[in-house]
Amino acid sequence: MYDVIIVGAGPAGASAAIYTARGNLKTLVIDKAPNTGALAITHKIANYPGVIGELSGKELLDTMREQAKGFGAEFIQTTITAVDVEGDTKYVFTADGIYEGKSIIIATGSKGRNRMLPGEENLLGRGVSTCATCDGAFFEGKTVAVIGDSEEALEEAHALTKFTEKIYFVVPRPELQGVHHVPELPNTELLYKTKALEVVGEQHVQGLKIRTASGGEEVLAVDGVFIFLSGSKPGTDFLQDQVPLDEEGFMVLDSSMQSPVLGVFGAGEVRRTPVKQAVVAAADGAIAAMAVDKFINKRSQLIPQYK
């Protein structure tokens, strides 16, 4: 039983972990792909307070995560398939087991997209998926396409190699972002500089229309399409209507980052922030952490950490 489970290890989640762990709260941080977020793939940062000179977003995040680990926070990398946050105990269901906490901080950033591919919405759940761990077994011996240019997409493609006969890995950019080494993926064809145009099919997925690197168009014959494209929509879909969200999927939070559901907090780009900056997300994480401390220890007010 953890005092707090933090979902996401970007600047909001890592900052929250520093504060909760330093406050002697048993802290678990779960992240699907640590090098995927907006900050992790930022090549240069020169305006983060207290940091003189330039460094990469990954370097900054690695420092924050190591700092949290130094205070006792535990980090794991796995895929979350579902959560149950409505009771006193918060359950997080993952590919590697179930984790329990007294509270939870959602810090998953902006992972969704505002625009879908033509055909995507109609075929969601009928061959279109955003979770290889959840749905990979349904495509045993079949051919699928994975769309994305991040570490997350790579991890999902790797998971699918256990089931599928063939994978078309459709990468919109010339290379995968935040990935220094691409391992050999069995039965996988990497298609760089390739844009997904449309998911083809009536009752189920029958193909994926693409624009190739040479500019031509063709349809890949596939039975499934797994989509891992980034965007500006908050990554809150996995909450499954258990926590109040606004019309665009942002968490409804008060000034202390608390949601209307007891023991559920948010931080970073899952809320409507005035600007999207690492320092703002980190500040959100610190506030959420102190709100968790207040909740767990039944304090009457937030207690800042000065030492």
pLDDT in tens, 106-155: 999 986 666 789 999 899 889 998 878 778 889 999 999 999 988 878 98
Domain contains 80:
yes
- Assigned domain for 301 exists: no
What pLDDT is stored for residue 59 in this prediction? 92
pLDDT exceeds cutoff 90 at 284: yes
Domain tally for the chain? Answer: 2
CATH code for position 54:
3.50.50.60
Q: How far apart are CA 22 and CA 301, in angstroms?
A: 18
Taking a C-beta distance cutoff of 8 angstroms, is the pair 127, 204 a contact?
yes
Residue 99 sits in the same domain as residue 244:
yes
> Same structural domain for residues 57 and 200?
no
Q: What is the CB neighbour count within 10 angstroms for residue 247?
A: 5
Is there a domain that residue 41 lies in?
A: yes
C-alpha dist (Å) from residue 268 to 91, 106, 203, 281: 22, 9, 38, 4
Residues 207 and 284 in one domain: no
With respect to residue 303, please indicate whether it lies within any of the assigned structural domains: no
Query: Are residue 139 and residue 106 in the same domain, yes or no?
Result: no
Q: Is residue 261 part of a domain?
A: yes
Report if residue 89 sits inside a domain: yes
Same domain as 242, residue 99: yes
Q: What is the average pLDDT across 38-54?
A: 80
User: Is the pLDDT assigned to residue 98 strictly greater than 80?
Assistant: yes
d(CA 79, CA 81): 6
Angle at 55 between CA 54 and CA 60, to 5 degrees: 135
Of 98-102, 179-183, 216-220, minimum mean pLDDT range? 179-183
The mean-pLDDT minimum among 15-19, 106-110, 217-221, 261-265 falls in 106-110
Q: Do 96 and 244 fall within a single domain?
A: yes
Q: What share of the chain is helix, strand, coil (3-state, %, to 5)?
A: 20, 25, 50
Looking at the structure, do residues 222 and 236 belong to the same domain, yes or no?
no
- pLDDT at residue 41 in the model: 67
C-alpha closest to that of 227 among 247, 210, 245, 252: 210
Structural domain boundaries, residue 172: 128-228
108 shares a domain with 12: yes
Residue 204 confidence (pLDDT) above 90:
yes
* C-alpha distances out from residue 46 to 206, 230, 281, Å: 47, 24, 17
> Do 67 and 17 have their domain in common?
yes
Pairwise CA distance, residues 149 & 230, whole Å: 9
Q: Are residues 108 and 237 in the same domain?
A: yes
For the four alpha carbons of 204, 206, 212 and 215, in that order, the dihedral sign comes to negative
Confidence (pLDDT) at 276 = 77
Does pLDDT of 274 surpass 80? no
Asked, for residue 90, whether it belongs to a domain, the answer is yes
Report pLDDT for 169.
Answer: 98
Which amino acid type is present at position 129?
Answer: S
Same domain, residue pair 68 and 10: yes
Q: Full-prediction pTM beyond 0.85?
A: no
Residue 17 lies in a domain: yes
| pLDDT value of position 233 | 80
Q: Which of 228, 256, 287 is the last residue of a domain?
A: 228
